[in-house]
Structure formats: C-alpha cells, structure tokens
Structure 1
Amino acid sequence: MSSFVDSDFLIESNFSDSSSHGPYTPVTIGPYTPVASNSIEYALHALQCVIGLIGAVGNGLVCVVIWKVRKEQNFINLLIVSQAAIDFFTSLLLIANIISLWVDERPPENLADLYCIFWHSKVIIFSCWAISTFNLTAIAIERYLAIIHPFWYHQTFSRKHAWILAVTAWLIAPIMRIITGVRQHVVKQQRCDYVSPPMQEKMILGVLIFLWDFFIPLCIMAFLFFRTILKLHRMETTESIRDTELQRKILKRRNVTKTLFTVFVLFVICWTPERITFLQFNLGGKLDFGGAWHTIALILATSNSAVNPIVYALRFEQYKDGLKSLCSRRRGDYQRIDGITD
C-alpha cells in the first residue's frame, strides 16, 4: 500500500503500483473496491459515522444557541461560533467521505480534475481540520489579549479584529493541503491517480505539513494558554473584589478561558497520536494500516470535532440555559441571556 502524508488517514484505499514514469510512480486508484473487508472495518466506518453525526448535531446546536440566545455578540462568541461552524462542516464531510466508500467513485466527466484534486484526495476534509486548528489558535490569541492585556483589549480590540482572526484562519490554513492535493492527484483513463513522490520529497512535504497543520499552532497555543491560565491563577490568589457585578464578570471570564483551555487540551490529546504517527511514517518509518495503534489514532482524531460541544454543555451554564430556552414549548419565547461572555 502506498501513501503520502496522511492522505490515507481517513480511509485507506486499495492501491496497485504501475510502471515508473520519470521520477514519480503513478498509483492507480480504481476501479473502486470497498475498503471494508471484515467486521472490524465495517464497525470502524460505522463508528466514524456516529462520531460525525454527534459532531454535526452538537456543533450545530452550539452555533444556534450562541448566535440566537444571547444578550450581545461579543468577540469570543464570534470565534467560538466560527470554531463550531467549521467542526459542523467537518463532521458532515466525515460522514460523506465514509459513504463515498460504498459508491462508484469515477470522476464526473466535466469536473474530473476538480473531483480528483479536492474530493477523492480528501483535501477538503483535511483543510477543514487545519482550519479548526488555526481557529483554535485565534481563540488562544483573543484570550491572551483579554486576560494578559485587558486595558489594551477593551480600548483597542474590536469586532473587526475578531473577524480578521476568524477569516485569516479560514483562508491560510488550507494552503499546504491544496498544494499537496494539486501536486499528487491527477486524472488518468477516467480514474483518479495518486502520484507517489520520491522519498526525499515525501519526507520534506511530510515535515512541512506536520509543522504547518499541527506543531507551530500547537506551540503558539501552548504558550498563550499557559500564560493566560497562569495569570488567572495569580489573579485568583491576589484579588479582593467587593463589587459584586464586577466579580461576576471576572468569574465568567475565567470560566470561559478555562473551558477553552480544556478544548485545547482535548485537541492535543486527540491529534498528537495521529500527527506523530504519520510524521514518522513520512520519514520512512513503518505503519500498520488497520492495526490497533492506527485505529486508535484514527478514532481519536476524528472524534475531536465531536467533543467540543460536550465540553460546552458540561462547563457553560449559560449554554445549558440557552439550550433549554431553545427547546421551550412556546416557539420563539426563549430568554435572552448572556451566552458565553468574555
């Protein structure tokens, strides 16, 4: 089985090597053969669909609750909605990619190149995961500014800055995935072909994707969140605030920040095994596709989009109250609440 970076992370396709053409070895994907050949693989696909469904429902509710049931649209709300929106689309794409395993994947005649580059290569869903990572980095930046530099934050930081952070994450995160998708997937004889690069290029691109999609954002988030949490801890031990309203706002801000720090910790837990596994694979190491370790890494990574709404439901009282309001029997008669306040 041939593979490049983690293009086979979601689904392992059946590859058959053909003759060498220049410095590259074309690997033909098709005619389509279902991947699942035993009950374990069927169960894995079913589990991924369940994870995708939970993620779609949960993140969809987060978007509705925060956007509809709120007193005001503040900056962190906007970034959390952006995070939930990309995780919502990612969950739907996860389900669609699993379903596509069981249908004929011959590219449409008029859109064959686009189909192979963006859909068959899984570039879209990998790009969505990258956007989710970059958006979480934007959240870490916003929390850092709000807690470490509160005066500058309240005087200077505006809705425009929040939008810039969110839009930037959506625009620049997919760059590496699109580059590799265009370079490695072509149409040949009405089928999608995967062009396996030489080992040296595979190693370079594998390292670049690891750095761009995971390691650099991870380092930025770790620095910002730990500085922020440390500042909150110092504030808790030194502050004595008699103003009840101000105290309430500070407690809410701490709750939001600590909850988002939990989201970051879960991101690290879910994605580290997969990223490290495919880094060593692209550096020439061995990987047992379908083995226990690969399966665990696969489940952890795909579940990340589904766990965030659970964190919100457990940690945010405002979110739980808003959800109850939306489920009220009296249509449109929901209470306007603070939502997730900064």
Structure 2
Amino acid sequence: MDGLLALRIYQDLTGIVGILGNGLVCFVIFKVRTMQTRTNAFIFHQAVIDLLGSTMNVLRNEIVLPDTIPSNALGRFTCQFWVSNYSLFYFFILSTFNLLVLTMERYFAIVYPFKYQAAFTTWPRLKVSMSMAMCWIFNTILMSYTLLIYKEENGKCVQNLIPGANIIGVIVAVLQYVVPVAVMLFAYIRISVEMKRGAARVGPAPAQHLPGGANAPDMAESLLRARRNTFKMLLIVFITFLICWTPNQVIFLMFNLGIDIQFNGWFFFITVAMVASNSCVNPMIYAFKYRQFRNGLRQIFCRQRNQANDMSTISTGTG
C-alpha cells in the first residue's frame, strides 16, 4: 500500500509539473513572435497535448470511483473512458503522433530542403494545421479499440471478451509504438548523416561577402548551428520518449500476445507513471537544450523586469 501511495504522489507531482511546465512553453511561444515558426508550432501543439495529459493524470489520481457504479449510460461511460485508461492514454499516445510529425517536419526540412520549401510556399498554416488535425483523427480511430476493453456488468467494470481482441491489440501496439519509433529512428539517423555532410560542405567554402558585412560561410554555419541545436534537442526528446514508453508498451504487447499480465500489480503502475513522466520532462529539455526557447524566456522575463524597474523609478521620482 505504501508503494502505491508513493506512486500516486509521484504521479500527482509529475502532473502538476507537467501542467506548469507545458503551460510556460505555450505562453513563451505565444508571446514571442520570433518563436512562431513551423517547428515551434508543432512544439506548441506538443505542449498543449502534454498539458492536457498532465491534467488528466492528476484528475485520474484524485477522483476515486465508488465501489458500485450505476447500470446506465454513466456507468458505461465510466468503464469505457475512465477504467480503461482511455481518458489518460488518449493524450499520451496523441503526443507520440505529434512527436512523429514534428520529427518528420525536421527530416524533410534538413534532408530535402528544396522540396520542403516548395511544399510550404502555398497555404503553410493550413498544411501545418492539417498535419495536427491528422494526429487527432488517426489517434481517435486507433484508440477506439480501448473503448471496447471494459464493460459495465452488475455495477462493476469487467473485461469485455472481444473476438479477435489479441490480434487487434497487437496491431494497435504496432501502430501506436513500433511504427512511430522505427520511423523516427530512421529519420534521426538520416538527419544526423545529412548534418555531417552539411558541416563538411560549410567548412572549406571560400568567403563570399554579402551586403551588411556578412559572408556566405558565416550565414551557412549559423544556420547549420541552429539546426544542430534543434536536432540535438529533439533527439533528447526522442530518447526520453523511448525510456518512458518502452516498458509500458512491451507489457501491452505481451498482454495481446496472450501472456498473463497483472494490470493491478506494482510494476504496471510504475510503467504508467513512467509514461506520465514523459509529459512533464519535455519543458525541462527545452529549458536546458533549446537555445531559442531560453532566448524567448529571457526576452519575456527580462523585459518585464525592466518595465518593473522603470515603473519603480517613475514612482520614486528619480532618474
């Protein structure tokens, strides 16, 4: 019991940190105009999803269900949306698909820059919005399987035996974890190779002076450095995702392969806590590894501090 209480406290803490951290990410990107780029639009979307996931994490921990649920629509809703973990994992898995789209956006921008620019010359905001919408649509379709796992029976939530459930579960596990991980791993390897080639091309290039005193190699090196910074940050996000998600998804896959899994055991609860942790870690990664985000933070809070100092100076009649 003490172990489960500790896990509950841990999940509450990660939920609160996730709400505050992701809320700060949304605020910074919304307020700083220089951060309103295509890549940061997906990071903003990621933060919104993780904020919702963190909120649901806290609610699920703190809302205690009665021993007996009503045998009506509310009871069916409780089993299908709450007990089945649909309400929680909907946002967690949605975060996976948005991370996949964010990774592929960087992949095409770096590996196929000319095709990338051509694709976004017309209706760029619409295309970004459509990419985000597809994450929600595909996730909703995929997660519909989870709604069928439990049903209400005599005031209790019991497992619903579905014909072919194991096969469906394996397909769901592959689509929500194995395929995104494989695609993102391939993308990061290709991006890494391309950036090494880019660094080799920039190094020995002759100086070509441009208006304003800049030269082509300096600008190319600056662009490469910015891309490298974003790449390293996203790579850390991906590695963190792997660490947090793999144990839970291995259990889910084993269950659908017919292996007996105790979903009320301490190890399963730890894997859920690890998945929940993923929603609060990303803002910390941005703060430590994403230079553009740190600059945005300084721009907001240093400006507010300067304004406060100016007001203090005016009120005291000095200066």
Does the CA contact (< 8 Å) of 2:199 and 2:224 recur in 1?
Answer: no
Report the alpha carbon displacement of residue 74 of structure 1 after superposing the two structures with TM. Answer: 1.6
Report the alpha carbon displacement of residue 46 of structure 1 after superposing the two structures with TM. Answer: 0.5
Does the CA contact (< 8 Å) of 2:202 and 2:220 recur in 1?
Answer: no
Query: In structure 2, what is the equivalent of residue 195 of structure 1?
Result: 159
Q: Could you tell me the TM-score, scaled by structure 1's length? A: 0.77
The one of 281, 285, 296 equivalent to 1:311 is 285
Does the CA contact (< 8 Å) of 1:128 and 1:174 recur in 2?
Answer: no
**Whole-Å Cα distance in 2 between the matches of residues 208 and 267 of structure 1?**
20
The one of 91, 103, 117 equivalent to 1:128 is 91
Bigger shift: residues 314-323 or 85-94: 314-323
The one of 129, 132, 135 equivalent to 1:166 is 132
- Give deviations 1:147-201, integer Å, cap 9, x for gaps: 01111212322222222211111121132322331x2333444x35333326x73
1:68-107 aligned at under 5 Å gives the runs 68-71=31-34, 73-101=36-64, 106=69
Query: In structure 1, what is the equivalent of residue 149 of structure 2?
Result: 184
- Give deviations 1:284-306, integer Å, cap 9, x for gaps: 22435566643543332221111
Q: Could you tell me the TM-score, scaled by structure 2's length? A: 0.82
* Helix, strand or coil at the partner of 2:33: coil
**Whole-Å Cα distance in 2 between the matches of residues 333 and 109 of structure 1?**
57
1:30-69 aligned at under 5 Å gives the runs 38-69=1-32
**Whole-Å Cα distance in 1 between the matches of residues 70 and 23 of structure 2?**
31
Report the alpha carbon displacement of residue 97 of structure 1 after superposing the two structures with TM. Answer: 0.5
Unmatched runs of 5 consecutive residues or more in structure 1: 1-37, 335-342
Does the CA contact (< 8 Å) of 1:134 and 1:217 recur in 2?
Answer: yes
**Whole-Å Cα distance in 2 between the matches of residues 313 and 105 of structure 1?**
45
Q: CA RMSD in A?
A: 2.7
Does the CA contact (< 8 Å) of 2:93 and 2:176 recur in 1?
Answer: yes
Report the alpha carbon displacement of residue 63 of structure 1 after superposing the two structures with TM. Answer: 0.9
**Whole-Å Cα distance in 2 between the matches of residues 108 and 330 of structure 1?**
55
Residues 87 and 229 of structure 1, relative CA distance in 2, 3 Å threshold = same
* Helix, strand or coil at the partner of 2:159: strand
Bigger shift: residues 219-228 or 94-103: 94-103
* Helix, strand or coil at the partner of 1:330: helix
Bigger shift: residues 63-72 or 261-270: 63-72
Amino acid at match of 1:151: F
**Whole-Å Cα distance in 2 between the matches of residues 328 and 46 of structure 1?**
34
Query: In structure 1, what is the equivalent of residue 210 of structure 2?
Result: none
Report the alpha carbon displacement of residue 88 of structure 1 after superposing the two structures with TM. Answer: 0.6
Report the alpha carbon displacement of residue 258 of structure 1 after superposing the two structures with TM. Answer: 2.1
**Whole-Å Cα distance in 2 between the matches of residues 312 and 130 of structure 1?**
20
Report the alpha carbon displacement of residue 87 of structure 1 after superposing the two structures with TM. Answer: 0.5
Tell me which protein shows more helix as a share of its residues: 2
Report the alpha carbon displacement of residue 321 of structure 1 after superposing the two structures with TM. Answer: 2.8
Query: In structure 2, what is the equivalent of residue 27 of structure 1?
Result: none
1:223 aligns with 2:186: yes
Report the alpha carbon displacement of residue 105 of structure 1 after superposing the two structures with TM. Answer: 7.4
Query: In structure 1, what is the equivalent of residue 228 of structure 2?
Result: 254
**Whole-Å Cα distance in 1 between the matches of residues 263 and 84 of structure 2?**
18
Does the CA contact (< 8 Å) of 2:287 and 2:294 recur in 1?
Answer: yes
- Give deviations 1:263-288, integer Å, cap 9, x for gaps: 11111111111111221133222435
Unmatched runs of 5 consecutive residues or more in structure 2: 206-214, 309-319
Does the CA contact (< 8 Å) of 1:55 and 1:306 recur in 2?
Answer: yes
Query: In structure 1, what is the equivalent of residue 102 of structure 2?
Result: 139
1:212 aligns with 2:172: no
Rg (Cα) greater in structure: 2
Count of aligned residue pairs for this structure pair: 294
Residues 213 and 122 of structure 1, relative CA distance in 2, 3 Å threshold = same
